[in-house]
Chains A and B, each alone.
Chain A
């Protein structure tokens, strides 16, 4: 391609990390504690029989509903902005995750130990898609009922998947989850390199 853009033009100007988890687990709280803007909400139209987001052609004939996603923004440097997208964890929203996860650095599955079952669906999805993900156990009021090992076992996590405890309300704690998933994504990419996968 003679007309390929220069590397400066091709250098990504923005990127994203996906925050998945059940209702009320603290996704928007996590986004809000590190975002430089108040979390914003964007909506996608969904038809009840939808295979895709915004299948507007089908709108007149089918009843529709909207799915809301809260997101935040972190300007990390002059040349890079990181967006955090909180997404509903239920399996019925899988169809829109493809859109959300394409090009993402990785995902954080936010877990509430009182409702572990709500994490199964996002875990399955990210594993299936090969998107690097970590598990972050949101500790409400600092209550630690189970060890991280016990939670990893209950979730049947593959041993290489990082699992950490965070307080989604705390900026540094939320940031540590972002760092962990980004480091893990890098580690996975470079490991593939050293194995010689082209």
Chain B
């Protein structure tokens, strides 16, 4: 949705990039349409990976049972870029996002999660 060059700095059109600019990987998109907290874990589902970009495939390959933050670390891409790629994979049915606590979570859901965490920590 955001313009690539809001300042109209056309003379910057052919810089000497030291690396691939992140928005190139995401085809110019800067926002993900799916809610993807850092700790949210992903599960791959379905098959067929036709039409996916190399970057999206790389993400798909490592994301099963891992969190958004882990995927970003493993593929060496900034978190925002990985969110856009993961969001596409969700929308195309390649992966699903497992639940986390959000702003909409009820107090009961929060208490249930914290109690489960406590039980786990005590025996960790």
Contact = CB atoms under 8 A, between A and B. Distances in A.
Interface string B75-87: 0001111010000
- Name the interface size band of chain A: 35 or more
A54 to B, nearest CB: 2
Contact of A14 (B5, B79, B98, B111): B98
A80 B120 contact: yes
A42 B12 CA distance: 29
Contacts, number: 167
B34 interface: no
B100 A12 contact: yes
Contacts of A119: none
Contact of A16 (B5, B39, B78, B116): B39
Interface residues of B, number: 52
Given A61-B9, A186-B115, A15 B124 contact: no
Interface string A36-73: 00001111110000000111111111000010010101
Given A10-B99, A12-B100, A54 B81 contact: yes
Contact of A61 (B6, B80, B103): B6
